Amino acid sequence: MMKMIMELLVYLFYSYLTVGALFGLYFVGWGAARLDTEAHQMPSMLRILLWPASVALWPLLMRKLWYRQRL
């Protein structure tokens, strides 16, 4: 039973990271410019540094983008 729970947690963790990685690519490419008007001028290296944070925090950033588009 404990092994099944651990496997489920690992599966959920990898799912979270996979969705975060895909969202991070979108956010670094286009989403950041929708939240901040100056973000479209960011250098490529700064965008690369922004990607890990967007992977980890994708639910918060997605919600912020969602509400920004609805306004």
Whether 7 is covered by a domain: the verdict is no
Whether 66 is covered by a domain: the verdict is yes
Distance CA 46, CA 28 (A): 9
Q: State both tokens at 50.
A: 């922004």
Average of pLDDT values for 5-28?
97
* Pairwise pLDDT comparison (68 vs 10), residue with the higher score: 10
Whether 39 is covered by a domain: the verdict is yes
Whether 6 is covered by a domain: the verdict is no
Q: Which pLDDT score is estimated for 39?
A: 86
- Structural domain containing residue 38: 12-70
Cβ partners under 8 Å of residue 39, min gap 6: 32, 33
Whether 36 is covered by a domain: the verdict is yes
For 22-71, how does the pLDDT look when each residue is reduced to its tens digit (9 = 90+)?
999 999 999 998 888 888 888 989 999 999 999 999 999 999 999 987 76
Q: Which pLDDT score is estimated for 68?
A: 84
Number of domains present in the structure of the chain: 1
Q: Which pLDDT score is estimated for 71?
A: 64
Whether 47 is covered by a domain: the verdict is yes
If DSSP codes are grouped into helix, strand and coil, which group holds residue 13? helix
Whether 63 is covered by a domain: the verdict is yes
pTM, to two decimals: 0.85
